[in-house]
Amino acid sequence: MRAAIIEGKDQLDVVDLPMPVPGEGQVRVRVAAVGICGSDLHYHFEGANGEYVVKEPLIPGHELSGWVNEDPSGQLQVGEPVTVHPARFGASVDGIEDAAHLWPGGSYLGSAATTPHTQGGMSEFLVVERHMIRQLPAGLSVEDAALAEPLGVALHGATRAGDLSGRRVLVSGAGPIGLLALVAAKARGAAHVTVSDVLAAPLARATELGADTTVQVSVEALPAEAFDVVLECSGAAVAISAAVAAVRRRGTVVQVGMVPNEARPINLAPFISKEVTMVGSFRFLEEIDEAITLLAADPGIARIITHRFPIDHVREAFAVARDSEQSGKVVVTFTDEH
């Protein structure tokens, strides 16, 4: 089978690998589409994602969809369209019994956080545990279902913000996760959603997806104390400082975007004087199920996908995905024969 392999910084190739064989409790999926995530870009262009360094060949990809190819138990039908929850959870810890995604000892598809690395889904076939499989409802395109994982991330950020009904929300950063955070905020009942970014093209995509207002922060400043909740999706230090200034007194800032594992200068004075609540948001627990429902109900969400490349053009796909002026979500596709 063909698979994309990252062996270090700027080392991305398509190689032939043996067909994986499902064991007890496992299912083999024939992959249709895999979204390129920010972590995938870091692994390719930097050889590391934060503190997680590529030390051995890594198949990237955790945003995927496809069809059941083999289920030894017979519980799932061959050819059934599915997506995959990419997490294998670790052992429960006191105080976070209800947050399995935070338990230590787990793993995530396409991640160098574990050694051996946890191989991802950018391959023609993938074997996962049956409990990771999510069946798709009728009417949801199997390629569009690759958005379920990143939309789950955005929905978890909204969960961390609390009740968004009637709230004024700022989404900071209009990359793919920011655009999906806009979708999540609207789905959770936000009354008004503003999206900010330094670039014009991502903001145009936000407008197409229903943003009430956009602010190009390289041209104009965000209004001070204007938002009940900020979903910060860029991970840029300057944007985090701006988020704290833009949120109202006793408002909430949710850090959705990943940041480097190093100290960065952030202005926390307004955090103190306004008694702002700041919370982190990491991956998701079961929000992928809500994401599937939203994608099936509104096919327009898939407009976030701006480019589709076949696996043989994976280097071009990564280059385009790196350019947020040019692209939204970029998807790598495999054959649709199943």
Q: Give the chain as a 3 state SS string.
A: CEEEEEEECCEEEEEECCCCCCCCCEEEEEEEEEECCHHHHHHHHHCEECCEECCCCECCCCEEEEEEEECCCCCCCCCCEEEECCEECCCCCCCCCCCHHHCCCCEECCECCCCCCECCCCECEEEEEHHHEEECCCCCCCCHHHHHHHHHHHHHHHHHHCCCCCCEEEEECCCHHHHHHHHHHHHCCCCEEEEEECCHHHHHHHHHCCCCEEEECCCCCCCCCCEEEEEECCCCHHHHHHHHHHEEEEEEEEECCCCCCCCCCCCCHHHHHCCCEEEECCCCCCHHHHHHHHHHHCHHHHHHEEEEEEHHHHHHHHHHHHCCCCCCEEEEECCCCC
Mean pLDDT of the chain: 96
Task: Assess whether the region 2-135+298-333 and the region 151-280 belong to the same CATH fold.
Answer: no
- Percent of the chain at pLDDT > 90 equals 95
| Tens digit of each residue's pLDDT (9 = 90 or more) over 280-302 | 999 999 999 999 999 999 999 99
- Give the residue-averaged pLDDT of 70-75: 96
Please, which pLDDT band fits residue 49 given cuts at 50, 70 and 90?
A: confident
Fold of the domain built from segment(s) 151-280: Rossmann fold (3.40.50)
Q: What residue segments make up the domains of the chain, in order of their start?
A: 2-135+298-333, 151-280
Q: What is the CATH number of domain 2-135+298-333?
A: 3.90.180.10
Amino acid 307: pLDDT: 97
| Tens digit of each residue's pLDDT (9 = 90 or more) over 121-140 | 999 999 999 999 999 999 99
